[in-house]
Amino acid sequence: MSNQKKSYLFALSAILLWSTVSTAFKIALKELDYIQLLFISSFVATIILAIIIIFQKKGQLIFSSTKKELANSAFVGFLNPFAYYLILFKAYSLLPAQIAQPLNYTWPIVLVLLSAPLLKQKLYKKSIIALFVSFIGVFVISTQGNLTEFKIDNPFGVALAAGSSIIWALFWILNVKDKRDEIIKLFYNFLFGTIYTLIIILLFSDIRFEFSKSFISAIYIGFFEMGFTFVLWLKALQYATSNEKISNLVYLSPFMALIFINLILKEEIFYTTLIGLIFIIAGIFIQQIKLKKH
């Protein structure tokens, strides 16, 4: 098998798994609150990442981080997984999965906007156009099938789902600046994130380890949303002859996710969800055209 075929195999495997997690979020939230879900999933992810590090014989790298790098991980870990997933899981607890899931996909546009002040990159006119197109999609999705009435049923949930993209974009920028091994960085992020979540779960919720569909879903999320699937994606990029071709495949995920949402959660997919999602992805591709030219 050629390296490019291996790359596609790893990439599509990762995308398929990521396409299932929005469904898993809703199943987990049936019996767990959003804080409990974050604690279980981030704890599982930390363990999975530690096992991967040992398997890859990178254990010595865990203890080679400087105090400055650990401080950076403590801050970045606050952004992701702690703040990002706390906001995202709360959004999923308030909205149908088909609404919360695509709203989160505005992060590539937000990433470009934040890169202007934080990375001193030039902001082009097409970036503004891309943002406008994507946020038309956000509005259309937010109407939940009532486009002609121009009514948003749950503005707070919509704000959380769309706002989570800001946290993710900020995390991405800070993560790029850290030149340590990707798995090591991710392990420390989740280690600190789990510690933060433990604190708030003791203050505002309670730790539950009852065997149920929700508990199994939380473990599934920790394994496939936060941990193992990331390694598959890194493998895909490692074998790829063109990262661009592989990266574009990720935009299959929100459309594939709607299939699982419909089949497993039995949500009737609104026409506005599909239209809005097309606008969001169109905005992202407009931005990519800009990046290619410059």
Structural domain boundaries in the chain: 3-293
Average pLDDT over residues 239-268: 82
Crossing angle of the two packed helices 213-220 and 3-28, in degrees rounded to 10 = 150
Determine which of 90-99, 106-115, 153-162, 201-210 has the lowest per-residue pLDDT on average: 106-115
Buried (b) or exposed (e) across 135-173, using 16+ Cβ within 10 A? bbbbbbbbbbbebeeeebebeebbebbbbbbbbbbbbbe
What would the two tokens of residue 106 be? 């505005």
Instruction: Using pLDDT thresholds of 50, 70 and 90, give the confidence band for residue 290.
Output: very low
pLDDT in tens, 36-65: 999 999 999 999 999 999 998 888 888 888
Q: What is the mean pLDDT of residues 174-180?
A: 84
Interacting residues of 251 by C-beta distance below 8 A, sequence separation 6+: 105, 281, 284
CA trace torsion 131, 132, 136, 138 (10° rounding): 30
What pTM was estimated for this model as a whole? 0.88
Q: Residue 205 pLDDT more than 70?
A: yes
How wide is the angle at C-alpha 63 spanned by C-alphas 61 and 64, nearest 5°?
65
